[in-house]
Chains A and B, each alone.
Chain A
Amino acid sequence: MAKIHLGRNLLDHQLLDVNGRRCGNVDDLAIEGGPGETAEVTAILVGPGYWPQRSGWVGRLAGRLGGSKRIRVPWAEVKRVRSGVELRKEAPDYGLGSGDDRLRPLIEKIPGADR
């Protein structure tokens, strides 16, 4: 059992899948349980769709440019919290890293891309 701070130790930290692949940042956290109940973090929220609620006009502008993608990663999928947040499965299993996956076939058309 360890005491951590959600803002300092989790928010904006790197997400890593089971293979160590970088697949986004912790853009926000979902908390369930309100006043009078115990509250726990139930999911990690990832994606430009969550930026507008982060902070003011910069977040809204960035969100409009970045798109509306929103991904929920249930907290149970977190294997370990160290420098980054390590997940149990591969990025595509959560829908993460799709930007890279969609771009890859195009990049690979250029010779030398997989040297």
Chain B
Amino acid sequence: MSKVFSLALGILAAIGGFVDIGDLVFNTAAGATFGYQLMWVIPIGVVGIIVYSEMSGRVAAVSGKAVFDAVRERTGFTVGLSALLASEVVNLLTLAAEIGGVAIALQLLSGLPYRLLLVLAVAGLAVVIWTIKLDWIERLFGYGGLCLVVFAVAAVKLEPDWGKVGNGFIPHIAQNNTLLYLYFVIGLLGAAMTPYEVYFYSSGGIEDRWSAKDIGLNRANAFVGYGLGGFLSLALMIVGGAVFLRHGINPEHLGTTALGAEEPLGKIGLLLALVGILFAVGGASIDTVFSGAYNVAQFFGWEWGRYRNPSGAPRFALSWLVLFVLALAIVMTGVDPVMLTEYAVIFSAVALPLTYIPILLVANDPEYMGRFTNGRLANTLGVVYLVVIMIIATTAIPLMILTNVGQN
């Protein structure tokens, strides 16, 4: 397959895979609460995930190290293990929220009971991972997730006040409800810069045996995939502002988000939205469960690989199976998946520095990177985002408490 074709496929899959349940919840809710005032946050988040991914991808390509290899080598056993534990807890919360999201989408499509669908969702995902080659999984879920483009169509069809939308791109802090506004800023950034996606991406690069000559491919994937995916986030916020704010609806249920596409486009809009949500969140859950298994295997030095058959990496396979079971247990308790998503995004934001900092250090280390260390642009952005990430990490929990998890 020609490189251009496979790049195009990769980008399509990345777009469909970019939006996960955190983005669905926070972008729509942000639009429903503050209209278009938070549009400016989305490009900041998109550039952030591009910077983080590009660095991790370059580190993987040149040094052959995945994120948690680098974390352990750089920070040592104690700090590394703490970082691992924190990442696994966040991973588990995220996975539970995603499984809940899949079940909700299935429930809206099929009418079957939620708890049954939780079990079916996990069983189905496990069977898919066990039996289907990863390339086909990525295509299936990536393209299915592309149905989310219906939100972009809906956003345009709703004919929002484009002047107001444009104004939303100017960074500002709302005077009313400032704390809630700041909570959404943190949530939007945390939802955009999800670390599990970076772990998955960099581990995949090593399995694909990237080398220095793949750095260009790495960059293209990161920029275009996440960039275009960012447009979907913008669309979600516009739909939130144009549909829900007007009606005074607070989308506390994933189904409500899908209704945002029904208003301008009718039943077909609703159907595409639900299918898109199903595949995007389902695909995200596969990325999440693998990245949880990667981190553990990489830290302890076990064999790992999503392309390998399970008997090639038994402890790795057991890890993701166990993660699925634990996540299922969490969401079976009946906890609201939207609330779970908010917790997952906030805690993920708090844990972000633990893995970002080692990657930034390794990306600057000529012993690992040869002549591919961060250039001035990469380092400027890298340090700017380090500051952003530290601000997010330190303010996330206080804001969550002060706004009562956005219920304010």
> Which residues of A are at the interface with B, using a C-beta cutoff of 8 A?
8-9, 11-15, 21-25, 27, 51, 54-56, 58-59, 62, 83-84, 97, 99-100, 103-104, 106-108, 110, 112-115
Contact = CB atoms under 8 A, between A and B. Distances in A.
A83 B65 contact: yes
B77 A110 contact: no
A103 B73 contact: no
The interface residues of chain B, by DSSP majority, are classed as helix
Contacts of A59: 77-78, 81
A103 B317 CA distance: 10
Interface of B: 63-65, 69, 72-73, 76-78, 80-82, 130-131, 133, 300-304, 309-311, 313-315, 317-318, 367
A97 B303 contact: yes
B86 to A, nearest CB: 12
Contacts, number: 85
A100 B303 contact: yes
Contact of B64 (A24, A55, A83): A83
Contacts of B302: 22, 24, 97, 99-100
A54 B311 contact: no
Contacts of B77: 12, 27, 51, 54-55, 58-59
Nearest to B130: A112
A12 B78 contact: no
Given A107-B318, A114-B309, A22 B76 contact: no
Given A25-B301, A103-B318, A104-B314, A112 B76 contact: no
Contacts of A56: 78
Contacts of A106: 314
Among A84, A108, A112, max chain B CB count under 10 A is at A112
